[in-house]
Amino acid sequence: MPDDQLHSQPKSESGAAPGPFRVAAIQTVSGPDVAANLSRAGDLIAEAAAGGARLVALPEYFGIMGMKDTDKVAAREGDRDGPIQRFLAETAKRHGLWVLGGSVPLESPVEGKVYNASLLYDDRGERVVRYDKIHLFGLDLGTEKFTEARTITPGRDVKTVSSPFGRLGLSICYDVRFPELYRAMGAVDIIFVPSAFTATTGRAHWEPLLRARAIENLAWVIAPAQGGNHPNGRETHGHSMIVDPWGTVIAERAREPGVVMAEIDPTFQARMRTSLPALQHRTLAGA
């Protein structure tokens, strides 16, 4: 369940507000070869770590974007067991940083389906939270069709977690269109939106949706994305970005694999929430 307690600024384990810290959003153009995808992701995480990042996020489907939808079902892993999860744990521990695996295909009780799960690991390589994607993408533009519900079992639970960086809220891709999910998180300091937006919907909606979620929640948004032309013929929008609590895009990468870095200053967020205390002005039931 989400923690609805309002946080004026992140707290460290000692209770004091942390100073500025660096974060990274990794952009990939993943294909059907899991080992190759993980190798490339590992190189990019190492680059982020060398640049001083303490919190790194990978995009949705970073471990596999198959030639067909069912490929991710074939590559599914048991909860806490599998090469993608081992990679995340070992990489986080090796570099001494927190790593979000944007999404990993995990076993579902429904035959022929998986959970699309976002997994967060701490700097010791321990998993601290799992979030299963709740909203499943569907699109029919005639020549362009997607129906995630055919191969994915939806999650049900909103997930937030405390960290040295403040309260973190987890979401995946299509979730960003549903502001009630983020309201259900309570006051979070950082929101993750790992994604694989299509080029079509991304051009129209990606940036305004991310900026809206940042503004509404006076929260930082870290949005790592798939960005380019994939072996399966799909084109993803890219434009991995980091957005500040005022809705300003402070770092972005248009296309192709790479690292998007930014510095987060918790005192900036604290000032914004003091100057514009919108989170304390909620009045509607369930808000």
Q: Which one from 60, 72, 77, 148 is the annotated catalytic residue?
A: 60
Give the closest residue to 196 by CA, choosing from 160, 154, 234: 234
Do 164 and 18 contact (CB within 8 A), yes or no?
A: yes
Q: Which one from 11, 72, 113, 133 is the annotated catalytic residue?
A: 133
Order of strands, edge to edge, in the sheet holding 249-253? 160-163, 166-170, 190-192, 220-223, 240-243, 249-253
DSSP string of 100-139?
Answer: EEEEEEEE-SSTT-EEEEEEEE-TTS-EEEEEE--SPPEE
Distance CA(44)–CA(33), nearest Å, equals 17
133 has catalytic annotation = yes
180 has catalytic annotation = no
111 has catalytic annotation = no
Distance CA(48)–CA(261), nearest Å, equals 7
Q: What is the DSSP letter of 285?
A: T
Report CA Rg, the chain.
18
Report the catalytic residues. Answer: 60, 133, 173
